[in-house]
Amino acid sequence: MSLLSLDSIRHVLARLEETIIFGIIERARFKRNEVIYKPDGVGRGLKGQSLVGFLLRECEKSHAKVRRYTSPDEYPFFARLPASILPIVRLESPLRPNAINVNAQVREIYETRMVPLVCEPGDDGQWGSSAVNDVNLLQAISKRVHYGKFVAEAKRRTQPKRLAALAAAGDEAGILAAVTDVSVETRVVARVRAKAATLAQEFGPRPGRYKVKPAIVAEIYRRWIIPLNKEVQVRYLLACHDGDGRG
């Protein structure tokens, strides 16, 4: 199946929905624990990093050694990662060469906007568990957001003249309008809410309660995940025209 076929893209995005919803549910088990996002918040042994930043970087260092970031759908939060200890496999990517990476935005929005929306205020001392969940969720959200490159490339191939003209004019608003399909976005948000209503439901003496309100999960998609995905699409299409890959 082609990476740019609609079936392939839909399959990946649907699978990521479930990963992200589960991640949100798991993170909501703990309080905000804001100390884990502050440099040296848990002690000076992290040399100016936050606990989440330290754990995320250590995870990426390990994953870089086994080629994770040679895949065209994986993007690290940190630069200057170790070289792979495995032989490099030359993957054929359908994407145009580019260096677009919005993970700084992903992390800032996640830590300052999403976590307060999902978690109860306070500190329950579960710093390590919270940080582990943060790392898993950040990586899943990053993949979902950067998959916008595949969506944009598929659209570029079906509307080459229209999108090339908009890119040549530097018309970011025009490109954004061209890649926006309100009906599709509405269906995605509704589907995410429906999945969350099933996955986040608590069973037991008081059935029907939710670990995370489905509306909150839908709101995260509507306010941040979908817009960031579209920002990646716009920057990718501009970079395709510029030819320098900087976006």
Cα angle at 53 between 51 and 58, to 5 degrees? Answer: 95
User: What are the residues facing 210 on neighbouring strands?
Assistant: 201
pLDDT of 208 reads 60
Query: Which superfamily is assigned to 6-242 in CATH?
Result: Chorismate mutase, AroQ class superfamily, eukaryotic (1.10.590.10)
Along the 247 residues of the chain, how does pLDDT read in single tens digits?
466 777 788 889 989 999 999 999 999 999 999 999 999 999 888 989 999 999 999 999 999 999 999 999 999 999 999 999 999 888 788 999 999 999 999 999 999 999 999 999 999 999 999 999 999 999 999 999 999 999 999 999 999 999 999 999 999 999 999 999 999 999 999 999 999 999 888 755 555 678 899 999 999 999 999 999 999 999 999 999 876 444 4
Domain ranges of the chain: 6-242
According to the 3-state scheme, what is the secondary structure of 124-153?
A: CCCHHHHHHHHHHHHHHHHHHHHCHHHHHH
Q: How does pLDDT run across 190-240, given as a tens digit for each residue?
A: 999 999 999 888 755 555 678 899 999 999 999 999 999 999 999 999 999
pLDDT of 1 reads 46
pLDDT of 216 reads 96
C-alpha–C-alpha distance, residues 113 and 135, integer Å: 16
CB environment 149-158: b (16+ within 10 A), e (fewer): bbbbbbbbee
Residues in contact with 160: Cβ distance below 8 Å, sequence separation at least 6, in sequence order = none
Count of CA atoms in the C-beta half-sphere (13 A) of 40: 4
Q: How does pLDDT run across 137-156, given as a tens digit for each residue?
A: 999 999 999 999 999 999 99
C-alpha distances out from residue 137 to 9, 46, 190, Å: 20, 21, 21
C-alpha distances out from residue 238 to 38, 175, 235, Å: 35, 9, 5
Chain position carrying tokens 């970087």: 57
